[in-house]
């Protein structure tokens, strides 16, 4: 394939994405031995197989919703590179998305607004800016893909974190009333080297929440370890995930996974919100995700309310007191046993 057809002379998709953040990127397409690859805009690629496997779920893959989370960005770029060179021939429809290219260029989490809080139409409630427009574009792109492929749909939104974690890789399953995690997805997480699953407790405005609630996808936010600059990631740290995704896109049979190998499951028991100027957060700035606290530990308080750990130990994830009033400071979670 003439790689310049889609990448305008750039060496790969990532380089093209970083080079086109300041101007519009027209649609372009090319025919590959196994199907058709369409560039739908900056950081947006769709693959349509010539002979798709009947009944196999279509797949949305996103990374870079936070621009400095580079390991999964590089993973998607490797998959695209293997498709364009013919090394990988997908048998299912695919949509690849690099969420926040300007933040990727700036090596920042976001430019103006946290993109992963702007979905489910939440972008309408913020001042106009790149991230609000990008959230609307990503929603529309995913909706068009869903309209084209009304059958089973999966979405994996890939992230890494600045904060360390006592459980390095974990998955978040968006809340949808009455829904349970399918066994096939639990097995995929195990295959991908993700040993912890967190069940979210309420609807949210994250990307995976949008695709699960509005598009009916089996969606997960996957947290895959530590943030590093471009070029400083060790691909071996997410090699199991990469291998599992390659199997999925080729619609190959899943490996057998024993029940006792499935992820350990946690559930949210309390969402910590910044209540205003009198809010006091009693968690150290450098605490790792999934740090556990014994019953009775004071987690936060203000002049009228306090939260203490209940009768069983609870762990904290995503602690960040430097958020606006009304925004999430962290989540208290508890392990489920006998799942």
Regarding whether 189 and 49 lie in a shared domain, the answer is yes
Q: How far apart are CA 233 and CA 76, in angstroms?
A: 13
State the pLDDT at residue 1. 44
Regarding whether 274 and 245 lie in a shared domain, the answer is no
144 SS3 class? helix
Whichever domain contains 147, its CATH number is 3.40.630.10
Regarding whether 247 and 117 lie in a shared domain, the answer is yes
Domain boundary pick from 204, 233, 261: 261
246 SS3 class? helix
Regarding whether 250 and 104 lie in a shared domain, the answer is yes
Regarding whether 83 and 202 lie in a shared domain, the answer is yes
State the pLDDT at residue 285. 83
How many domains does the structure of the chain reveal? 2
State the pLDDT at residue 338. 62
Residue 39: how many other CB atoms lie within 10 Å: 23
Buried b (16+ CB within 10 A) or exposed e, 106-134: eeebbbebbbbbbbbebbeeeeeebbbeb
For residues 314 and 257, the answer to whether their CB atoms sit within 8 Å is no
What would the mean pLDDT of 273-279 be, rounded to a whole number? 95
**Neighbour-count burial of 86, counting CB atoms closer than 10 A to its CB (0-12 exposed, 13-18 middle, 19+ buried):** exposed
For residues 211 and 219, the answer to whether their CB atoms sit within 8 Å is yes
Q: How far apart are CA 20 and CA 7, in angstroms?
A: 10
What would the mean pLDDT of 42-57 be, rounded to a whole number? 96
Regarding whether 302 and 242 lie in a shared domain, the answer is no
Regarding whether 299 and 272 lie in a shared domain, the answer is yes
Regarding whether 43 and 98 lie in a shared domain, the answer is yes
State the pLDDT at residue 327. 86
For residues 58 and 46, the answer to whether their CB atoms sit within 8 Å is no
Provide the residue range defining the domain that includes 305. Answer: 268-336
Point out which residues pair with 120 in neighbouring strands.
none
pLDDT tens by residue, 108-158: 999 999 999 999 999 999 999 999 999 999 999 999 999 999 999 999 999
- Edge-to-edge order in the sheet of strand 306-308: 280-281, 298-301, 306-308
Domain boundary pick from 218, 240, 261: 261
pLDDT tens by residue, 3-24: 567 898 899 999 999 999 987 7
pLDDT tens by residue, 198-220: 999 899 999 999 999 999 999 99
Regarding whether 168 and 85 lie in a shared domain, the answer is yes
State the pLDDT at residue 203. 92
Regarding whether 274 and 197 lie in a shared domain, the answer is no
pLDDT tens by residue, 64-122: 999 999 999 999 999 999 999 999 999 999 999 999 999 999 999 999 999 999 999 99
pLDDT tens by residue, 143-197: 999 999 999 999 999 999 888 999 999 999 999 999 999 999 999 999 999 999 9
Q: What is the DSSP string of 164-205?
A: -BSSSEEEEE---TT----HHHHHHHHHTT--EEEE--S---
Domain boundary pick from 242, 261, 280: 261
Q: Report how far apart, in Å, the C-alpha atoms of 219 and of each of 50, 117, 154, 164, 176 are.
A: 25, 16, 6, 24, 11
262 pLDDT above the threshold of 90: yes
Whichever domain contains 283, its CATH number is 2.40.50.630
Q: Which residues, 6+ apart, have CB-to-CB distance to 132 below 8 Å?
A: 113, 118, 123, 124, 126
Regarding whether 96 and 173 lie in a shared domain, the answer is yes
Question: What is the chain's mean pLDDT, rounded?
Answer: 94
Regarding whether 213 and 276 lie in a shared domain, the answer is no
Q: How many residues does the chain have?
A: 339
* Residues catalogued as catalytic: 223
Angle between helices 239-249 and 183-191 (to 10 degrees): 130
């Amino acid at each position: 394939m003439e790689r310049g057809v889609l990448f305008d002379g750039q060496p790969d998709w990532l380089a093209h994405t970083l080079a086109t953040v300041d101007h519009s990127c027209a649609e372009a397409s090319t025919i590959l031995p196994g199907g058709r690859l369409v560039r739908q805009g900056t950081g947006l690629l769709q693959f349509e197989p010539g002979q798709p496997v009947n009944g196999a779920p279509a797949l949305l893959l996103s990374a870079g919703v936070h621009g400095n989370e580079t390991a999964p960005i590089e993973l998607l770029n490797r998959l695209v590179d293997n498709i364009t060179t013919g090394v990988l021939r997908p048998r299912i429809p695919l949509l690849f998305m690099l969420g926040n290219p300007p933040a990727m260029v700036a090596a920042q989490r976001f430019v103006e607004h946290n993109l992963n809080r702007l979905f489910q139409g939440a972008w309408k409630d913020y001042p106009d800016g790149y991230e609000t427009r990008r959230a609307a574009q990503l929603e529309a792109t995913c909706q068009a893909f869903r309209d084209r492929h009304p059958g089973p749909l999966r979405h994996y939104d890939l992230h890494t974190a600045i904060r360390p974690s006592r459980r390095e890789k974990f998955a978040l399953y968006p809340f949808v009333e009455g829904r349970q995690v399918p066994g096939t997805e639990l097995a995929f997480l195990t295959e991908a080297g993700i040993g912890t699953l967190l069940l979210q407790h309420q609807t949210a405005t994250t990307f995976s929440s949008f695709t699960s609630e509005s598009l009916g996808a089996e969606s997960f936010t996957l947290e895959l370890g530590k943030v590093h600059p471009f070029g400083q990631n060790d691909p071996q740290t997410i090699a199991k995930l990469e291998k599992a995704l390659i199997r999925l896109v080729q619609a190959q049979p899943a490996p057998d996974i024993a029940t006792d190998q499935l992820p350990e499951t946690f559930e949210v028991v309390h969402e910590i919100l910044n209540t205003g100027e009198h809010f006091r957060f009693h968690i150290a700035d450098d605490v790792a995700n999934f740090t556990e606290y014994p019953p009775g530990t004071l987690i936060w308080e203000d002049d009228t309310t306090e939260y203490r750990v209940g009768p069983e130990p609870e762990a904290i994830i995503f602690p960040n007191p430097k958020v606006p009033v009304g925004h999430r400071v962290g989540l208290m979670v508890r392990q489920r046993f006998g799942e």
